[in-house]
Homo-oligomer: A and B are copies of this chain.
Amino acid sequence: MRAASLPRNSWVDHALHTPDARRRRHRAIGCLLSLNAAAIGAPAFVSAAAPAPPPRESPEVVATRLRDAALAGHTLAYEWVGELTTRFGPRPAGSTNEHQAAEWAAARFRELGFENVAVQSFPVTAWVRGTESGEITSPSVQPLVIAALGESPPTPLAGLEGEVALFPSFDALKAAPPGSLAGKVAMVTRRMVRTQDGAGYGAAVVARADGPGEAERRGALAFLVRSVGTDSHRLAHTGATRYVGGRVPVPSFALSNPDADQIERLASLGKPVRVRLFSSASYVQDARSQNVIAEVRGRERPEEIVLLGAHMDSWDQGTGAIDDGTGMAIIVAAAKLIRDVPHRPRRTVRVVLFGSEEVTQPAPPGGAFGGHAYVDGHRSELSTHVLAGESDTGADRVYRVGLPQAVLASDFARTALRVLMPVGVIGAAYPPTEAGTDVGPSVEAGVPPFTLSQDASRYFEIHHTADDTLDKIDRAQLDQNVAAWAALVWLAADSDVDFRARPGTAPQEPLR
């Protein structure tokens, strides 16, 4: 998961308002499909073309069975993230590891029986951490645990040194007069607040993204930010920064929370605190990243697409297990459960493993990272994308489902909640305005988003650190995610519901 996108208006404002598909009545009764939960994933249960398929059951019955099969321990999700993170480790955008992992994923999709498997390549400016170090040089010499922020330029070879100027918030930094930080290292000490829905991240991350520019504008040599994370380990949380005029302004680093504490305490003793910082970060201008695309092709209206996204690239210090190995694992495992229903869903389920989600680019978005590349490469299909969702907040349980305004009070929502409530998922009172960074450009182009919100209470202890490794995954919660995704995506893909808001339709009272 990357820095929260800038606030957007409701997706309604961005909708393309393509001609509405006529709403068709639910045709569940009399269908001929059936689904034997005990047989999910078993060889006998693979092909819709098998002779004499069992009688078809209602979408709700199928969704319930998919849910329960996942809950019973659908091993594919953990296998996917385990094998991916073990074989390839960190997968920075544009790296060999990211490329090799994408090839592996495409091959695995084919083995699993997905269709139209494709790798969409696109150019990026890659960023390479190199080596880095930090220390307090006065009033005593102490090592610091730091991590260069993404895209941060290197320091001079000899490093750079300066007195730290502390600001309790990003606003306080912005209130500092021009030139007031000449020769200094600007540091924002604001603590991230732990919240279930991850809102504490959005509130704190702006300092990380825009701090380098604001620091340089006031003459600072470098920028430090207290890690945007809720843990107290000596691990710094990296993350993207913003290019300003084609470059990231000054060398910029996250400090681990205990190191930020230490600098605050030292400063409170009344003596100047000086730090020395070094980074040999570099850029690769001609790198390429890629999206890996695979489908469960719909049986009736294959051109109508339910888009599921997660991202393949990761930060470089961990192995990208919860960001976003588990996101991939969840949507792949959910789609595989759907793929193995004897009769495919009416619509197509398209899974996209996006490249280059974590990094910003020197040029404004539009072909830069995977989400934009996807829109650029699939623009003609976007009007028949019926729904888009993304999994990118780790593996802890889904607790809330967000559905588009058009269906908030519909039979579809009622059915979805009947299936999801038994696994601890409640309905969001308001429609989502976005679903994540990867499907963001698609949503901006008018595709209605849905959300399956995960408990983020623990996520930001690990997010963007070296600690993002396989052992942090709670397998029972991972399975609950697969259950929620498989059930909801099946319901959407096997329906003819129009999720796009129609202009002039009065907002409906949401289900509570």
Interface string of A123-137 (1 = CB under 8 A from B): 000000001010010
Q: Are B139 and A87 in contact (CB under 8 A)?
A: yes
- A interface bracket (residues with beta carbon within 8 Å of B): 35 or more
Interface residues of A in 432-453 (CB under 8 A from B): none
A355 within 8 A of B: no
- A136, A258, A470 interface centre (most CB from chain B within 10 Å): A258
Q: What's the Cα separation between A467 and B466 when bound, in Å?
A: 14
Q: Which of A39-47, A51-59, A164-172, A261-269 interfaces with chain B? A: A261-269
In contact, B269 and A140 (Cβ under 8 angstroms): no
Residue pair B234, A465 in contact (C-beta under 8 Å) = yes
For A316, the closest partner residue in chain B by CB is B143
**B470 adjacent to A142 (CB under 8 Å):** no
Given contacts A86-B269, A258-B467, A262-B86, contact A234 B232 (CB under 8 A): no
Question: Which residues of A from 54 to 97 have beta carbons under 8 Å from B?
Answer: 82, 86-90, 96-97
Closest to A136 in B: B89
CB contacts under 8 Å to B, within A135-159, are: 136, 139-143, 145
Closest to A468 in B: B234
Contact flags (1/0) for A242-286 with B, using CB distance below 8 Å?
A: 000000000000000110011001100100000000000000000
User: How far apart are A270's CB and chain B's nearest CB, in angstroms?
Assistant: 12
A265:B86 contact, CB within 8 angstroms: yes
A407 to B94, CA, bound (A): 70
A470 contacts across to B, CB distance below 8 A: 258, 261-262, 265
A95 nearest CB across to chain B (Å): 9
The residue among A82, A141, A469, A472 with the most chain B CB atoms within 10 A of its own CB is: A469
From known contacts A86-B262, A235-B235, infer whether A100 and B140 are also in contact, taking CB-CB under 8 Å: yes
Q: A271's closest neighbor in chain B, by CB? A: B87
Q: Which 10 A-B pairs have the closest CB atoms?
A: A89-B142, A234-B466, A258-B469, A86-B265, A232-B471, A234-B467, A258-B471, A233-B467, A233-B233, A88-B140
With A234-B235, A262-B470 given, can you name 17 additional A-B contacts, CB distance below 8 Å?
Answer: A86-B269, A87-B266, A89-B136, A89-B140, A89-B142, A89-B262, A97-B141, A131-B133, A142-B319, A233-B233, A233-B235, A234-B317, A234-B469, A261-B469, A261-B471, A262-B319, A262-B469
| A residues at B contact (CB < 8 Å) | 82, 86-90, 96-97, 100, 131, 133, 136, 139-143, 145, 232-235, 257-258, 261-262, 265-266, 269, 316-319, 465-467, 469-472
- What are 23 sample pairs from A and B whose C-beta atoms fall under 8 A apart? A86-B262, A86-B265, A86-B269, A87-B139, A87-B140, A89-B140, A89-B141, A90-B143, A97-B142, A142-B319, A143-B316, A143-B317, A232-B472, A234-B235, A234-B317, A234-B466, A234-B467, A234-B469, A257-B471, A258-B471, A261-B469, A261-B471, A262-B470
